Amino acid sequence: MIDSQLRTSGVSAEFVLKRMGAVAREDFVPEKAKSVAYMDRSIPLGDGQYLAAPIVQGLMLQEARPTSSDKALVVDGGSGYLTELLRPLVNSLDSVSPADAVKGKTPSQNYDLIVIDGAVEYLPDALIAHLGDHARVVTGYCMNGLTRVATGRKAAGEVSLLPLAEFGMPVLDAFNKPTSWSF
């Protein structure tokens, strides 16, 4: 995984390679999926949850650039893997479900870093409110059916996402844009 998927796709930050080499992906999938835990695509976990492909989580972790002073939040896509990758790299770490994140139900406020383990169509105001000034966001971003890894920073109370690279990744339905009627 490290040599054939991560390094060949531009994920080369030593802290990412070290963490992904230390945390066994097979511990985060159902028994029947353990033999394919390292393949280069997402793995269904049941109930609409997935473990994203290694390259997606490696790139997200690299772009997050966690520091030992960060107060971080992971919106967990269902596996807990990304949370375990990030845990020793930050000062404090909370994890919430996508449904709770959309409602703004987080254990704390003023996070320096939010990593969303999946693709979103938008970032709800209730979640943005939990970001401190100049906080960072790393997520998957879904627009017109295409998913990309994206980063953003909170400024003037808003977060704009900058798409970085197209990768197939699980879409978190809780973050679908509300439908509205128009002419």
The two three-digit tokens of residue 112, written as one number = 């320096």
The model's confidence at residue 60, banded by pLDDT at 50, 70 and 90, is: very high
Asked whether residue 46 is assigned to any structural domain, the reply reads yes
pLDDT digits (tens, 9 = 90+) for 8-46: 677 778 999 999 899 999 999 999 999 998 888 899 898
Asked whether residue 181 is assigned to any structural domain, the reply reads no
In one-letter notation, the amino acid at residue 151 is: T
pLDDT at position 182 is 65
Q: Is the pLDDT of residue 179 over 80?
A: no
Asked whether residue 63 is assigned to any structural domain, the reply reads yes
Asked whether residue 158 is assigned to any structural domain, the reply reads yes
Provide the residue range defining the domain that includes 107: 2-175
- 27-37 burial string, b = 16+ CB within 10 Å, else e? ebbeeebeeeb
CB atoms within 10 A of CB 164: 15
* pTM score: 0.91
Closest to 172 (Cα-Cα) out of 136, 123, 125, 128? 123
Tell me the average pLDDT of the chain: 91
- Averaged pLDDT for residues 79-94: 97
Asked whether residue 135 is assigned to any structural domain, the reply reads yes
C-alpha pair distances (Å), 157 with each of 49, 84, 109, 125: 30, 29, 14, 9
In one-letter notation, the amino acid at residue 177 is: K
Asked whether residue 183 is assigned to any structural domain, the reply reads no
CATH code (residue 46):
3.40.50.150
Number of separate domains in the chain? 1
Asked whether residue 182 is assigned to any structural domain, the reply reads no
Asked whether residue 40 is assigned to any structural domain, the reply reads yes
pLDDT at position 147 is 95
